[in-house]
Chains A and B, each alone.
Chain A
Amino acid sequence: MRFFDGHLTVLIGLIITLMTAGAIVSDGNYLSLFNLQSMAGQVPEIGLLAIGVLLAMCVGNGGIELSGIALANLSGVVAATIAVSFFSASQDPEIFSLIFIVVALATGFLGGLLNGLLIAYLKITAILCTLGTQMLFIGLAVAISDGRSVRVGAPGPLYEIGNGLLFEIPISFLLFIGVACIIGFVLRYTPFGMWLMLNGSNPKAAEYAGFPKNKVIISTYTVSGILSSLAGIIIAARTINVKWDYGTSYLLVAILIAVMAGVKPEGGYGRVICVVLSAITLQMMSSMLNFMGLSNFIRDFAWGALLLGFLGIGRFRLLDLINLQKHAISASVRSPHAQK
């Protein structure tokens, strides 16, 4: 696989174009340190959810993850409720933050595991399963918090995760890049990553080859759940309150990011670096629309149009026109399933 494939080139091109256009529209304010930091601070939550979608799509079986944002909010609500009732955020901020993070991650682990078990052993279709768990997670979050927002407060370490800077870069962004690197490495260089991708590109062959299919599916959705809870921690740290209905539009946006990054919805192909860049691109567009003073509804409209546009680009292989050499290479690698 060549490093610069069509999607990567286009995404980098888009980012450069957006930076130039943004600077022109806003008289340079767009490229100010403050704006860049604020954009970088907003990428991680949605980026982590998008990586979760990437994993679910890549593993195949009609895989998709629709419960991501619901699980993120549930993790935040559960962790906040438990941490607040046992510890005080102002008296011992370290323990409070630690408990909060551990409980949130555990919730994400359990939620993801539930998805994985239902899909692998009960053979419920991923769409139906994650729709059901989405409702279950939202419902649990509502029931635990009584439908109100839960105040987390701003205990030292947790607040730092959401709002702190290291070398002028938001810590949450560094965390996101770190996690993305780990996932990217696992997908590319470990047997697990290979099983995951091959299972997605041809499930039948994977089964005959003796892959631990169920284990791969369960681990994939569990990792996806943990990523959701990480997003939940960052959301809680950034917004100080957690509520069950935070970020309802993230469901679409996470899928949009994955599709923009060239992840194949039918499974077997996806690159983490493209997802990271595509999340950054989307955040830059969103800020740009803000700078131009357009409403959120126009943004929703634009996201929908963009999703369909990128699906069209993927369908008609428009990006291959940029990289003519890729044709020869990919023709032999492509699975028969993906050719339809």
Chain B
Amino acid sequence: MSTSNVKRSWSWIVATLYILFLILPIYWLINMSFKSNSEILGNFSLWPQSPTLRNYMVIFTDPSWYNGYINSIIYVVMNTVISVTVALPAAYAFSRYRFLGDKHLFFWLLTNRMAPPAVFALPFFQLYSAFGLIDTHIAVAIAHCLFNVPLAVWILEGFMSGVPKEIDETAYIDGYSFPRFFVKIFMPLIASGIGVAAFFCFMFSWVELLIARTLTTTDAKPIAATMTRTVSASGMDWGVLAAAGVLTIIPGALVIYFVRNYIAKGFALGRV
């Protein structure tokens, strides 16, 4: 694009200002997580005057805190594995074949991705109570399939449609059976798509609070629900709350570099 030097420096300012706006609140949380509560409440400072790791120590030594992370990770991983596994063959069917009711089915899946969790919170509680699954990891994992399976199907379908159909036909002529072709040839071809689908299933299960909170009480309580109760006798424990928040950002921050080119595609259900 033809941009003069003046124009270029100006456009840098826009991006920089926007990123500054994004980073400031996150910085403030990190800043707080290294302060003691008396410093947070007592004197206002832009960086920790006497940095402390006490807040992180509380989280790593108190089972009610670190179990929240373990619980979250268990059901999130279960959910991701289930979602991607069932979504792979379905996405293949949608991208390659026409069959009775395919469009209705594809649309119906979408409505579940768009459905408000608030509508499902109460019936889920009753359904899983009936099966005696309340406060188990699998209950949350299956409940999150409501929006993650459709998400995975849509994302994978988007990636699979980019693979030419001739590859399938050649493989069948070469004598590959469908399962062998799918695992040996097709899955490596859409490896990045599977990664993106898994990432988004992980993310959306990780960020969800309402359903996870409704279905758990103690044994499988996620970190998100633990965080809503940091009020103690001495008031709000802001430092620990901030430290807990910082720790929940880490999984996303760790992998963000690898998925940077696919973030738009993932959020747009594979439609970019």
Instruction: Decide whether A and B are members of one complex.
Output: no
Chain B positions within 8 Å of A, measured between CB atoms, are: none
Chain A positions within 8 Å of B, measured between CB atoms, are: none
